[in-house]
A and B are shown apart, each in its own frame.
Chain A
C-alpha cells in the first residue's frame, strides 16, 4: 500500500503519517480514497494560505507565534482559524459521521471563516446552515449524536449558546448518566467568546464560567494555531461532549505547525515558559497579556513559569501541582469575571490540594464584575492588562 501511495507522488513524510492515521471506522471501506483525500487536505490549506495571504482581520493584527509551541520540524504556516478548519477537515475526511451545523457555516463560510470551503467540499447536509434557533439546533445536534453521528455545533458567538443552555446542560452533559450509559453524546460545541474590540456587553461574554459546573462535559480553550488544531481534533474524536472555547481576538494569529497529523490531549495543560519564581496560570487570550508581562518581568529579574491551562474542565492538576511544588507562588490571570469564574474554581482547587506548598496566598487577576462597556478605554479597564500582571508578580514575590 505504501508503494502505491508513493506512486501518487505524495511526500514520504505524509505517507508515514497518513498510513497510521487511518483508524478505520467500520464503513470507511474505501481506505485508499480516504488516504488520498487526506493527503490532499493537508496540502490544500498550504496552497490556500499562499493564495489568500492577508486575510481581512476582524479585530486584531497578527501577533508573533509563540516559540514554545511551534514544532521542531518545518511545517506550514497558517492562521488560527485556518488551523481550526484544518483540524475539522481532517476529521471529516477520516470519519463520515462528523458533520458541522451552525449559523452561516455553510455557504457563507462561517462568520469567522473557520468553516470556509467545507460546504463546497462536503455538501449542504454535512455542513448545515441552520436558522437562528440555537436552542433547537443544539438539541438537534444532540439528538443526532445519540444515534451515532458526531456533530460539531458552532455558536456564532458563545454568548448565543446561553439560549441553548438547557440542551447543553441536561441533554448534552447528563444524558450519558441518566440513560445508565446507553447513549454517548460525542458532540463538539465551539465558538468564539471573550472580550473583543468594543463588541458590547452581550457579545463579550465568557461562557466558561457558566458551563463549568455542568457534569459530563469537558471544556478546553485554545490559544495558538498549534493547540487549536490539536484540540479540535481531540474534541471531535472524544466520546464525551466537549466545549471548545475560541477567542474572537485570536483568530488571526499566525504560526508554523507540523505537516504531520497530531492530536493533543484534552486534559493536559501547556508549559509555555518554564521558570522558578512564580507560577502564572492562564488560558486563551490572557496568555498573550501574560507573555507580554513576562518580558517586562524578565527584564526586572524575575523568572515566571507560565502555564496555559488549556483544559478548563477538568483542570490538569498534575502539571499545575508540579509547578506549584517548584515555585510555591501562584498567580492566576484569566478573562472570566471575578465572581464564579474559572479562576475562582482553580484557586479553590489549588488551595485544597497544594496548600502546604504555597508560600503566599494565591492571587487571581480576573475581569471586573461588570457588563463589558462599549467605550474603548472602559473596555480596557475591565480586562487584566500586562502592567497589572507585572505589579501582581512583584507583590507576590516580595
Chain B
C-alpha cells in the first residue's frame, strides 16, 4: 500500500498536513500484531485457516487510509452522478471496501484480478490513480480507458487488473483464461475471478469451474455475496445460497467480507491452495450500502433499518478504526484528520478531472482494430509484399 502514500504526497496539499502524515507513518512500526477475525471461517471440503491473522501497525493504518479513500471516492462519485457529470451506469462499492483492501494485502501485482462492473475500488487497490478513475467516469481522455470504456470498463494491464466487465458472469471464463495462461507460462501466480451472488447462477460459471478443476488451473473464484442481485434477494434467486458450497467437488470457504483481515487471511490461504491443488471458491459475505447502481435507490427491496443496522455493526472502516484505537496506534483526532485529508485529496482530483479535456473526435475510430490492421502478407517467393489496401 506504499502506492497510496506516494500518491497522497504527490498531490498538492498544505505542507503541514503532509509533514504530520509522514511523521505519523514513520513512527508506524512493523512490529507484528495478532488480530482475531470477527467470525471463524466455514470450509466446504477443506480445512479452514485459523482465525488469527498477523499484521503490523503500518498495515492497519494503510488499511484505514485505503478504505477511507475508497469510501470517499464512491460517495463523491454518487454526487457527481447526481450532478450529471457521470452518466450511464455507475455501480458503487461502498460497504464492500474490505474485500478489495484485504485481497490486495494478500497478493502481488503479478497475480491477476478480474471482476464485474463494481470495479472502481478494486482498480484503486490495484494501483489505479484517482485521476484515472474520475477522468474515466466523466468520459475524459485522461481516463484509464481513454474515456471510451466508462464506469464498467476500468483496466490496468501493468498491475494485473483485467477489468471491468458489463455482462454479468462473462468475466469468469475470462478469469479462467487468465489462470490458463498462468499455468501455460508456468509463472507461479494466481487469478482471482470475482463475481456476485447474482452472477453465481450463470451457467458459464459452472462451465468455467469444471474446466478449472479439470486442468488444475490456479484460479480462485471469489463470490462477493452482498445478498442482492440488483433487486432480487439471494433467497429468491438461488435454491442454495451457500455459494461457497456450489463448487461441489471444488473446495470452498465462507469468509466475513466486512472484515479486512478475514479477507486477507482467506486470500492468502486460497493462493497457496490454488498454486498446489487447483481452484477454490471464496464466498465473501459482504454488503453494499448503495443500491445496485445509481438508478436504484436500494430501499425498495430492503429496509432502511437493515442498511443502517449493517452500517452500525459491521462497517469495515469502523472495525479497523476500533482496532487502531484499541492498539493505541493513533488517536481519534489523527484518524479524523486522515479522513479529512482523504476527502480533500478526492475533491482536488475531482476538480482537476472536471477541467480535463474530452476525447478528440478522431478517438472514435482508434483502437477498434490494432493498428496495422491484419497482417503483412507475402507470397511463396517471399519477395513480394502484397499491396497495402487503402
Chain A residues at the B interface, C-beta cutoff of 8 Å: 16-17, 20-21, 71, 73, 75, 99, 125-126, 128, 130-131, 133, 135-149, 166-167, 170-171, 176-184, 215-216, 218, 230, 234, 237-240, 258, 260-268, 316, 318
Q: Digitize B364-385: 1 where CB-to-A-CB distance is under 8 Å, 0 elsewhere.
A: 0011111011111111111000
The answer to whether B174 and A268 touch across the interface, beta carbons within 8 angstroms, is no
CA–CA, A374 and B170, complex, Å = 35
Chain B residues with CB under 8 A of A16:
382
Q: With A240-B369, A266-B374 in contact, is A137–B174 under 8 Å at CB?
A: no
Chain A residues with CB under 8 A of B178:
143-144, 146-147
Does B302 make an interface contact (CB < 8 A)?
no
CA–CA, A76 and B265, complex, Å = 61
Closest chain A residue to B143 by CB distance? A180
Chain A residues with CB under 8 A of B143:
180
Min C-beta distance of A382 to chain B, whole Å:
32
Partner of A180, one of B114, B145, B390: B145
Does B229 make an interface contact (CB < 8 A)?
no
Partner of B367, one of A126, A176, A234, A268: A176
CA–CA, A234 and B214, complex, Å = 32
A-B CB contact pairs (8 Å), 10 listed? A140-B180, A145-B177, A170-B167, A177-B368, A179-B164, A180-B146, A182-B155, A237-B375, A240-B370, A264-B386
The answer to whether B211 and A146 touch across the interface, beta carbons within 8 angstroms, is no
Residue among A148, A176, A182 facing the most chain B CB atoms (10 A cut-off)? A182
Chain A residues with CB under 8 A of B165:
170-171
Min C-beta distance of A255 to chain B, whole Å:
13
Chain A residues with CB under 8 A of B2:
none
Q: With A178-B148, A180-B143, A180-B145 in contact, is A268–B162 under 8 Å at CB?
A: no
| 10 closest Cβ pairs, A-B complex | A143-B177, A139-B173, A133-B207, A143-B174, A180-B146, A265-B377, A180-B145, A136-B207, A258-B380, A239-B370
Query: Can you add 13 more A-B contacts, CB < 8 Å, to A21-B382, A268-B377?
Result: A136-B207, A140-B174, A140-B211, A143-B162, A143-B180, A145-B177, A146-B177, A147-B182, A178-B153, A179-B155, A260-B380, A263-B377, A267-B389
CA–CA, A262 and B183, complex, Å = 32
Closest chain B residue to A72 by CB distance? B380
CA–CA, A261 and B377, complex, Å = 11
Partner of A240, one of B148, B185, B373: B373
The answer to whether B177 and A234 touch across the interface, beta carbons within 8 angstroms, is no
Q: With A180-B143, A180-B149 in contact, is A137–B173 under 8 Å at CB?
A: yes
Q: With A136-B204, A147-B181 in contact, is A167–B173 under 8 Å at CB?
A: yes
Does B203 make an interface contact (CB < 8 A)?
yes
Chain B residues with CB under 8 A of A260:
380-382
Closest chain B residue to A139 by CB distance? B173
Chain A residues with CB under 8 A of B185:
147, 149
CA–CA, A228 and B376, complex, Å = 16
